[in-house]
Chain A
Amino acid sequence: MAEAVLEVSHLTITYPAGGRTIVDDLSFSVLAGEAVALVGESGSGKTTASLAIMGLPPDGLRKTAGSVRLLGEDITDLSQEGYRKLRNVKMGMVMQNPISCFDPVFSIWSHFKETLKSHQSVTKDEIREKAVLALSEAGFERPENVLELYPFQMSGGMLQRVMLAITLVLSPPLVIADEATTDLDVPSQAVILRLLNERRQERGLSLLIITHDLSVAAAMASKIVFLENGHLIEIGEAKTIFSNPASTGASKLLALHRDLYTDRYMKVTKNLTQI
């Protein structure tokens, strides 16, 4: 059996002083080279869970029980300094809103420099070499030019590809993508997902994909973890859940998801894809 890259067990997150429970007793694992989707509607606790895994619990919330293990190492109570050393090296993150992930006064080159310098001692030439390679792998035809640009000069889809390049530049074994394609248009979404999938197939990257969009889960994940109001309602093989959901929550979301694929859509796309 493949080794677990990420192992979350009995994770519980609440507001302090006996407040509301946001995530209740969540357990799942991500194996090496596996893609797992954490699926749920807005407010189901999926982002809170992912932020806690990354060591970034939102203000006022705290982990009250459970543990998180990354590559066999317990990272539940790691210090912020400890997490800083992990991020981008062992665990990469791609967030929903790319614009807010970049410093608007720094060029893309500076962002690469910051990421690389905080983990390795590298020369300017090495940074350039690594950045250019990462950007070309992220589908940029002229990566040298991209390095000179500032965030405001790029579209959301381009910025998200740059974000992905920065995330992958140190080749972390795990990438957590929290609604990474939600704000993007359909063509940009396809590019990002294809890149992540290629990395997984070619280099055994493990993926934890947080999404409310079941088509993203269907395209990417072999395992699905369904959340509803902070509770895990269903976990299992993607194919099994899609064909035969056990919980009413998952069945309801699947029905809404399939509503989008109307007869008209199926007929029209069939015509369009015939050549």
Chain B
Amino acid sequence: MSLMELKGITKSYRQGGLFGSKREISVLKGIDLNIEPGRCLGLLGASGCGKSTLGRLALGLEKPDKGGVFYKGQDLAQLSKEEKTLWRRNCQVVFQNSHGAVNPRYEAWRIVSEPLLNYGWVKEKLKPKAEELLASVGLDSTALFKKPHQFSGGELQRICVARALALEPEFIVLDEPVSSLDMLNQSLVLELLSNLKIRSGTAFLFISHDLRVILKMSDSLAVMKGGRITSFSDEISKLEDPNIPVDPTLRTLASAVLEAEPK
């Protein structure tokens, strides 16, 4: 059974209104997508195609206009408060901009242990657990009492990954987790995530505009353009077969990737 299921999702935002006239902007135009347990689904698309909105819907941060988001067959909109609390624990997120995703006044141990606090951990256990979590993303105990501005973007992104892991979720939405990192941190974060998937069978929705990163990480691939999914491959290795039909959107995105070597 699917872990998360998105069925017939449409979503539009309202723009303007204060001075100009209001208009509706349709962002998602009928999306069906399944996220299987323990697998990484890559979501590829250019800026503005609706991929981040889709990620937010899968997290329950936005409500769809039409259609529904289902967790193990249950409609999120129908869940009781207690059920929702339980679901939320199994569903975490890492965003692109790590500096915007943490409280600037909190020390690192408090950032990573905040989810634990929300789920009733006693205070004495938080710091040892935080140290363990930070160690799992390659940060030593000197990091515990530093604040966000004392970390580089790559270190802070690893702290965000540690926070997402704190409750051992079944599913993590990764919204461009490495696009603003330098190469060393990019490879560190990607390796961390691959190991996590193998070790604890966490499912990922990996959102990116970079085909190189998607092909490195994902088991299946959905390509988006203009609020629609233009192609879906359940096994990403099938894309290596020269006889499969080519999705023009995927071709455009692939042709924009720069080559590895100088000409």
A residues with a Cβ closer than 8 A to B are: 41-43, 155-157, 182-190, 193, 212-219, 221-222, 238-239, 242, 253, 256-262, 264-265, 267-274
Query: Which of B236, B241, B246, B261 counts the most A-chain CB atoms under 10 A from its CB?
Result: B261
| B254 close to A (CB within 8 Å) | yes
Nearest CB of A to B232, in Å: 15
Interface residue tally for chain B (C-beta within 8 Å): 43
Could you mark each residue 201-218 of chain B with 1 if its beta carbon is under 8 Å from any beta carbon of chain A, else 0?
000000001111101100
CB-based contact B237/A264 at 8 Å:
yes
Closest 10 pairs (CB-CB, A-B): A215-B258, A185-B209, A212-B182, A190-B256, A267-B240, A185-B47, A238-B262, A218-B262, A260-B212, A256-B183
- A268 x B239 contact (CB < 8 A): yes
A189 to chain B, nearest CB (A): 7
List B residues at the A interface (Cβ < 8 Å): 46-48, 152-154, 179-187, 209-213, 215-216, 236-237, 239-242, 244, 246, 250-262
Residues of B within 8 A of A271 (CB): 239-242, 244, 246
- For residue B251, which residues in chain A have a CB less than 8 angstroms away from its CB? 272-273
Docked Cα-Cα span, A157 to B49, in Å, equals: 13
Contact: A218 with B260, CB < 8 Å? Answer: yes
Closest chain A residue to B185, Cβ basis: A42
Residue of B nearest to A264 (CB): B215
Please state if A156 and B260 are interface contacts (CB–CB under 8 Å): no
Cβ B187 vs Cβ A272 within 8 A: no
Q: Which residues of A contact B180 (CB under 8 A)?
A: 182-183
CB–CB B255/A272 < 8 A: yes
Q: Are A188 and B250 touching (Cβ within 8 A)?
A: no
When A264-B215, A265-B215 are in contact, do A242 and B183 touch as well, CB less than 8 Å?
no
Residues of A within 8 A of B257 (CB): 186, 215, 269
Q: How far is the CB of B193 from chain A (nearest CB, A)?
A: 14
